[in-house]
Structure 1
Amino acid sequence: MPKVYEELARALAAADQGPVFGLVGDANLYLVDCFIRAHGGDYVAAANENGAVLAALGYASVSGRVGVATVTHGPAVTNTLTALADGVRSGLPALLICGDTAVADRQNLQNIAQREAVLSTGAGFEQVHSAETARDDLIRAMRAAAAERRPYALNLPTDLQHETVAAAQGAIRIAPTPPAVVPQEGDDLHEAVAVLAAAKRPLVLAGRGACDAESRAALLRLADRLEAPLATTLKARELFRGEDWDLGIFGTLSAPGAVEAILQADCVISFGASLSSYTTSDGAYVEGKRVVQVSPRAADLGCWHRPDVAVLGDAAPTVEALLRWLDEAEIAPSGFRGELAPRGLGDFPAAEAPAEGLDCVAALSRLEALLPRPRTFVMDGGRHMINALQYVTAGDPQHYVHTTSFGAIGLGMAYAVGAAKAAPDRPAVLICGDGGFMLGGLAEFNTAVRHALDLTVVVANDGSYGAEHVQLRNKQMDPAVSLFAWPDIAPVAEALGGRGVTVRELADFAAVEAAIAEGRRPLLIELKLDPDRIGT
């Protein structure tokens, strides 16, 4: 009869969710070894426990599967809390298999109340209760993560892992495709039609929950029927790329032309968006407008902004119902598009090359042209983030990986490791700041090297924690505490086994182009920037 850790390793392989990201210790090494040796499992060894969970989240973001990570107990679990919190707020499904000290071992140095620590992040928690229930406990936690779109921790005491258990056979089905949420005929749907019928300047807004091909096609039909422009949230950016009347991002990152159109609108109908304060620009972009919010997640409706009408439903069936009622009532198109230019409203001003040194926008614009595509684009937090999101694209919203749902910097590198594993045929690109790289990326860059990932890392190095530098300058305070004399980062990338290129002026991009064309080993491009010459 197999032992518990052997049966759990078999269950992981049978679930077929992809690689396991982890860092081994005495409470999970038998499980990992069995997963690799007995089942040929793909194991990615991270340098840090937080990085292991972040990589699992990056894998989930790109693949749509449940990302799986494993760590040992005590400090290993507390190291994962930032990643778990970010995963909860990003709505990403992940399973963290964490060892735990034996119940009777109260004096173990690494003993801690792991349940309370995990639950504080908003993640789910499943205890392995016995040898007989262990496999079912794992499957239940994985299914809950998939259904609830958040990380779950499976807590596995060390002494229980070596007990014997009856073997089970067969594949494990984790996440069957859920049926579409069809809106119910009734007051909410009828009120939504009434709002659209009265609108003179309607706007159609798409969020990450409406990024599939069927939703996109439906929203284009609705926008055409209403003669409304289209826009997206940050996480759905580029959904309507190349379409006439695309305003780009709706929110604090909107282009100047898009802002003018947004302010003119008198009605916003959103699909698959939570309408956060960033999307509404603290309410400024929806002030004085009628708002219809459509989402298949009841938790999204009214979560941030209270809409005039809330409709529970997926985008495609809701659009079909709205079009049917609009046609039956013979509602005329709004004509709003006639007041706008058909193209270019979502564009940002072209970058101008500086007389000397390196300008952030000019550098990012050059990288946009040089970096391989199609690509997976991972965005770390920091001062560089606004310009990077304005001038660097992913090409498809589902190829964009957002890493700042918890407001933390330094999560991007590990996210990128998982994203690159999820789409090995598509190059991954991470843009981060020097602070984020040194804080959370340094060790996991070597993880990318060890696993030969197709990853390019762009470090916007202004020698500071830039957001704080801006605040100190704006308040006429000494910015010295935000400045750091980092070593040159490109040579550090070489020391870690990758490649590195330093860019001090635009002429240095010839070396960048050559390095990208060479296409071997993870590449780091260091942009040397002046903290006093970067836009806020």
Structure 2
Amino acid sequence: MAVLATAVGRTLADLGVRHAFGVVGGGNILLTAGLTGAGISYVPARHEGGAMAMADAYHRTTGQVAICTTSHGPGLTNIATALTEATKHGSGALVICGDAPSLGLRSHDIDQPAFVGSIPAPVLRTADRATALRTTVDALDLARTTSRPVVLCVPNDMVSAEVSGQAPVIYPAASSVVPVVPADLDAVLDALAKARCPLLLAGLGAWRSGAGKVLVELGERIGALYATTTMASGLFAGSRWSLGVFGGFAAPRAAAIIGSADLVIAFGASLDAFTLHHDKLLHPDAVLAQIDLADDRAIDRVSLSVTADASAAAEALLNAVNARGLPPSTWRDELADAIARAGWEHESYDDAGTDSRIDPRTLTAALAGVLPQERTVVLDGGHFIEWPSRYLPVPEPSAMVFMGAAFQTIGLGFAGAVGAAVGRPDRLTVAALGDGGALMGLPELETLVRTGASALVVVYDDAAYGFEVHMYGPKGADLRTAAFGDTDFAGIARSLGATAVTVRRIADLWIVRTWLARGCPGTLFLDCKVVPQVVARFLSDLIAG
């Protein structure tokens, strides 16, 4: 016999859960003791929303489920934004929280299943002692097999209840990949037979299905170029035929080449407005084929749609191409020189830096010149996101942790850096934030410093909500609502134990080289006072269009 809190911790540890993040309160402090007592590593966060973002980022970098644990009531409601981001992104995480007693709600309780269901995320509840461990195992299994966060509510009167018996076993799940019917790909194959300029676009679904290798093989066979969505950055890293990121972040020369494609086959990509750059990227006559599992994938611009797993479909398409004996395209050979010069690093610009403020392009390009290639880039949301997306490529999609993309949030960057650093301590964590998001999520900077993780924090500080200033200022917005006085981020970071400097010019980056030479100890914080007048290309295109 063992109390439920202890049995839950032991069960999850036995099933391979290694890390948890949380904030303790009366509803979960004993549950957390059960986790740590079973050997699960626990990082105390400063806010429940931060703990949720940490578990989210951990999954993005490792593919493994981590735990976020909160108390009941406000402990759970505090994770709403981060839980929604994780749900929309599709991050496997297990939220373990306290809950109202089994007999019903008290005055300070809420209907937690209804609250979580509005996000929506699956909710399970340990209703009685006989099934509590079965429910725990089911919750973990659901988070793993569906790659989404699952909330496990444990009533307060159940936490110390005694349970007996062994925890149920999770048996390996049968493959959920539906075999591709060759006939479903006939229209795509016909389009390939007619295409002179094919391009393969890979999204996050392609990465998750393990399609990278077969997509490269398919591209080599048909003579296609490659591109990725932002979330699949790095999938084709190292290929001379990769145009980098497809969409609003595409470099101008890369975008021009994309615009000359007459067939784009998208694997595991949602094809939202940003990816298609608001219909400004593709030639009007180009055929756009979408191969994805998502139910809501179809949009008007899609010419051909196939419901299939990206990896299975790519392999079936490769076999069909070989069976038909289709000749490869030669267009990429004709464009070899142009492709080699298509990246952002080959784009010139007039440096707008002054004695007191640095151009964000110059800043980020300079960092790219000294940082190791093996890195995890964590992005918060905001106007600044184009600069690290331009100049800081990542080695594979798990190294791109864009915490604000799915739900258009800001404020999760510091917490995301904690989860990424815990998940992949072998790679340098580079966290990029705007000043607005940095102040919103500031408590988790203390957590990042406290964990001792090797991390470089770059704050693009324009003392404003830059997106809103540039987007809505010309439309008559009162900019006093979006602009602020200067913040001494370096002073704040030093007070929390980080090494920190204020960066106003390139010469101020000397500390980065020194820190790298010392082995990247702890957290280095760069408070970068950037020129506010430099507008990201994706935003200027939005404003113009």
Does TM, scored on the shorter chain, surpass 0.5? Answer: yes
1:311 maps to 306
SS state of the match for residue 259, structure 1? helix
1:431 Cα deviation from its structure 2 partner: 0.2
CA shift for structure 1 position 12: 1.9
Matched, 1:39 2:38: yes
Residue aligning to 1:131: 129
> What residue identity is the alignment partner of 2:15?
A
Q: 2:48 matched to 1:53?
A: no
CA deviations over 1:22-75 (Å, ceiling 9, x no partner): 110111111111322x32221110000011111000111111011211100111
Aligned equivalents of 1:472, 1:315: Cα separation in 2: 39
Please tell me the residue identity of whatever aligns with 1:489. F
Matched, 1:194 2:190: yes
1:206/1:236 contact within 8 Å kept: yes
Q: Which residue of the other structure, out of 311, 327, 334, is the alignment partner of 2:329? A: 334
1:174 positional shift: 7.7
String of CA shifts for 1:338-385, please: whole Å, max 9, x gaps.
Answer: 442342224351465535431110001111122333111111111111
| Aligned match for 1:118, one of 111, 116, 119 | 116
Deviation at 1:103, TM superposition (A): 3.9
Check whether the contact 2:59–2:93 (CA below 8 A) recurs between aligned residues: yes
Q: Is the 8 A contact 1:359 1:534 kept in 2?
A: no
Query: Alpha-carbon deviation of 1:244?
Result: 2.1
Q: CA offset at residue 175 of structure 1?
A: 6.7
Change in 2 beyond 3 A, CA 1:499/1:176:
farther
8 A Cα contact 1:128 1:156, kept in partner = yes
1:238 deviates by: 2.3
The one-letter code sitting in structure 2 at the alignment partner of 1:319 is: A
**Deviation of the 1:176 alpha carbon:** 5.1
**Alignment-mate amino acid for residue 530 of structure 1:** V
* Structure 1: segments with no counterpart, 5+ residues: none
1:292 is the counterpart of 2:289: yes
Describe the superposition over 1:68-112 as per-residue Cα deviations: whole angstroms up to 9, x where unpaired: 111001111111110111011111111101101224464442x11
- Residue of structure 2 in register with 1:68 after alignment: 67
Q: Deviations over 1:453-477 (max 9, x none)?
A: 1221111111111111213432354
Q: 2:320 aligns with which of 325, 328, 350?
A: 325
Q: Does 1:28 find its partner at 2:14?
A: no
1:100 and 1:380 map into 2 onto residues whose CA distance is 31
Q: CA separation of 1:487/1:155 partners in 2, compared to 1, >3 Å: closer, same or farther?
A: same
Change in CA separation of 1:120 and 1:212 when aligned onto 2, cut-off 3 Å: closer
Q: Hey, what does 2:272 align to over in structure 1?
A: 276
What amino acid sits opposite 2:130 in the alignment?
E
C-alpha spacing 1:503/1:534, structure 2 compared with 1 (3 Å)? farther
Q: Of 148, 151, 155, which residue of structure 1 is paired with 2:149?
A: 151
For residues 454-533 of structure 1, what are the structure 2 equivalents within 5 Å? 454-518=454-518, 519-533=520-534
Give the alignment partner of residue 247 of structure 1, picking from 227, 243, 250: 243
Secondary structure, aligned partner of 2:247? coil
Partner Cα separation in structure 2 for residue 164 and residue 278 of structure 1: 52
> Secondary structure, in 3 states, of the residue corresponding to 2:277?
coil
RMSD of aligned Cα (Å): 2.2
Q: Normalising by structure 2, what TM-score?
A: 0.91
Distance 2:278 2:221 in 1: 30
Preserved CA contact (<8 Å) 1:181 1:312: no
State the distance in 1 between where 2:445 and 2:16 align. 27
1:78 and 1:409 map into 2 onto residues whose CA distance is 18
| 2:369 match: secondary structure | helix
C-alpha deviation, 1:492, in angstroms = 0.6
The question of 1:417 aligning with 2:412 is answered: no
**Compared with structure 1, are the counterparts of its residues 262 and 212 closer, same or farther at alpha carbon in structure 2 (3 Å cutoff)?**
same
Once the two structures are TM-superposed, the CA of residue 162 in structure 1 deviates from its matched residue by 1.8
Residue identity opposite 1:156 in structure 2: V
| Cα distance between partner residues in 2 of 1:367 and 1:177 | 45
Q: Residue 285 of structure 1: CA displacement?
A: 3.2
Shift of 1:300: 5.8
Using the alignment, how far apart are the partners of 1:222 and 1:184 within structure 2? Answer: 18
8 A contact 1:381–1:436 mirrored in 2: yes
Contact 1:139 1:174 in 2 (8 A): no
Q: Does 1:209 align with 2:205?
A: yes
Distance 1:447 1:355 in 2: 34
| Contact in 2 for aligned 1:143/1:174 (Cα 8 Å) | no
Alignment check: 8 A CA contact 1:181 1:314 kept: yes
Deviation at 1:307, TM superposition (A): 3.3
Counterpart among 337, 342, 351 of residue 345 in structure 1: 342
Distance 1:470 1:67, change over 3 A: same
Q: Normalised by the size of structure 1, how large is the TM-score?
A: 0.93
Change (3 A) 1:431 1:106: same
Structure 2: gaps spanning 5 or more residues:
540-545
State the secondary structure of the residue aligned to 1:17: coil
Q: Tell me which residue corresponds to 2:543.
A: none
C-alpha separation between the residues in 2 aligned to 1:517 and 1:235? Answer: 31
Establish whether residue 396 from structure 1 lines up as the match of residue 401 from structure 2.
no
Structure-2 residue corresponding to 1:427: 428
Deviation at 1:212, TM superposition (A): 6.8
1:251-266 to structure 2, matched below 5 A, reads 251-266=247-262
Aligned to 2:409: 408
Is the CA contact 2:209–2:311 (under 8 Å) kept in the aligned structure 1? Answer: no
SS of match in other structure, 2:211: helix
What is the count of residue pairs matched by the alignment? 529
Find the residue that maps to 2:96 and give its secondary structure.
strand
Cα contact 1:270–1:292 (8 A) shared by 2: yes
Q: Residue 279 of structure 2: SS of its match in structure 1? A: coil
AA aligned opposite 1:424:
P
Take 1:285 and 1:329, find their aligned partners in 2: how far apart are those partners? 31
Change (3 A) 1:320 1:151: closer
Identity, % of aligned positions: 33
Check whether the contact 2:17–2:40 (CA below 8 A) recurs between aligned residues: no
Residues 388-413 of structure 1 show CA distances to partners (whole Å, capped at 9, x for unaligned) of: 21112222222111211100111111
The answer as to whether partners of 1:189 and 1:311 remain within 8 angstroms in 2 is yes
SS where residue 136 of structure 1 aligns? helix
